[in-house]
Amino acid sequence: MSYRIEKDSLGEVKVPFESLYGAQTARAVANFPIGKEKMPVEVIRAYGIIKKAAALANCDQNLLNENKRDYILQAADELITGKLDQHFPISLWQTGSGTQTNMNVNEVLANRISQLAGENPGSKKPVHPNDDVNMSQSSNDTFPAAMAISAVKKTEEFLLPVMQELKLELISKSEQYAELLKVGRTHLMDATPITLGQEFAAFAAQLEQIIAMVNDSLKYLKQLPLGGTAVGSGLNTKAGFDKLVVKYINLETENNYQPAVNKSAAIAAHDSFVNFSGVLKTAAAFFMKLANDTRWLASGPRCGIGELNLPKNEPGSSIMPGKVNPTQAEALFQVAAQVMANDTAVNIGGGSGNFQLNVAKPLIIYNILQSISLLGDAADSYRKRCLTGIEVNQERLAAYLEKNLMLVTALNPITGYDKAAKIAQFAYQENTSLKEAAVELGYLTAAEFEKYVEPQKMTQPNLE
């Protein structure tokens, strides 16, 4: 491999000739040989938005000339569209402020501009990575802004649409199965009847609430600390830079970001990310229940509950012929567990702000972006490859309902709780029906039992 020599404040460094990064990035590659994880590309591209907006704001404030501004805009557009993705080799596990990644961005843009201007990469002509690309900025305020923009963008453009599609499918199932009576279950034991439609409607209602929670939590992420520079004080910026840079970010993203009211707080602590991760964990809890209920209700086919039949996507066993497993539900369950674990990492990272700076920024955004990706991918796969193809075993529903001892609950207003309990216990002990038990005990006639115990009426308020 051939190299060129670049300089930073510590001296000369060899940089791979074909790369667009510079000396500080090369040092980071050498100094952080940790793991295989790299900075998520979403953060890198969000940085392009920030650098573009900063160049426009600095030019408006007469700090950056139009020629340099236009060069930065051209290079930043390439960064935003992914044309420069290959020039970001630094490990995720770097300094907690993300300084190495910010300088990686600054160097790539400056060196790309050198190419565009006919200069040699590393010449820092016509644009300097620190003085021009990083003007009015610090890693401490730009990195959390890139975190926020990347998380908001991925959530609004990917996760929320997937959740909405899943909710619509759950609503469709609730309408399709609105009249199918079945046994309810509490404590894993038989309970009073519901409809299968009500069961799916409950899932849809849970998800609707989670979607609202996600949208609400995004409002806090949209408060950007740009203009705070190193410690939130705004050193080396002109008054009003924060409003200008956010204005240009909104024009680029068609969003509604706001300057953080207290930039020191937004740099030193990342409570909005901790809150958002907690909402993702709540979504994971819902997906875990959805996955578990799906596989329990489909367990069998002969020796389990077996009320649902899932699509047969692939063979389930390497040794047991004909076995088919609830694989999509199992994948969804595992994703939910991983997202819960990610939230723990975010919680620890969020509590790692010392004085004027949180020093776990890469950790926080890596886990949040992974959670968004996993939840979206798994939910979309579950909907397409499991939920839409679910079929109902109506014979099994009817058979369980007929044997359900908890139908006796309808008799509470008629016989009282104690007599109703004796009917259920007698029926169970004698292996007979509830009606036969009620008649045998002398509490009701057969006609009276049939009048009062109507499973369909037990799925809604029934007292007059």
Known binding residue 384? Answer is no
Determine whether 446 is exposed, middle or buried from the number of CB atoms within 10 Å of its CB (0-12, 13-18, 19+): exposed
The one-letter amino acid at 64: L
Q: Which of 87, 217, 272, 317 is catalytic?
A: 317
Using DSSP bridges, classify how beta strands 308-309 and 391-392 pair: parallel, antiparallel or unpaired: antiparallel
Residue 15: phi and psi, rounded to 5, are -125, 135
Known binding residue 324? Answer is yes
Contacts of residue 451, Cβ cutoff 8 Å, sequence gap at least 6: none
The answer to whether 187 is a known catalytic residue is yes
Known binding residue 325? Answer is yes
Contacts of residue 260, Cβ cutoff 8 Å, sequence gap at least 6: 223, 224, 225, 228, 266
Known binding residue 409? Answer is no
Known binding residue 393? Answer is no
Torsion sign across C-alpha atoms 48, 237, 100, 360? negative
List Cβ<8 Å contacts ≥24 apart for 445-449.
448/414
Known binding residue 243? Answer is no
Known binding residue 140? Answer is yes
Helices and strands in the chain: count of H runs, count of E runs: 17, 10
Nearest Cα neighbor of 52 from 115, 117, 107, 133 is 133
Tokens of 287: 């997906």
CA angle centred on 12, ends 9 and 16, rounded to 5°: 120
Known binding residue 131? Answer is yes
Known binding residue 83? Answer is no
Tokens of 9: 């404040």
Known binding residue 277? Answer is no
Known binding residue 433? Answer is no
Known binding residue 167? Answer is no
The answer to whether 270 is a known catalytic residue is no
Residue 221 contacts residue 272 (beta carbons within 8 Å):
yes
3-class SS at 435?
helix
- C-alpha–C-alpha distance, residues 297 and 173, integer Å: 15
> Cα 404 to the chain's mean position, in Å?
39
Known binding residue 127? Answer is no
Nearest Cα neighbor of 138 from 107, 109, 102 is 102
Known binding residue 144? Answer is no
Tokens of 342: 């990610």
Known binding residue 141? Answer is no
- C-alpha–C-alpha distance, residues 366 and 93, integer Å: 10
Q: Which of 187, 270, 352, 433 is catalytic?
A: 187
* Binding-site annotation: residue ranges: 97-99, 128-131, 138-140, 186, 318, 323-325
* Binding-site annotation: residue ranges for substrate: 97-99, 128-131, 138-140, 186, 318, 323-325
* Positions marked catalytic: 187, 317
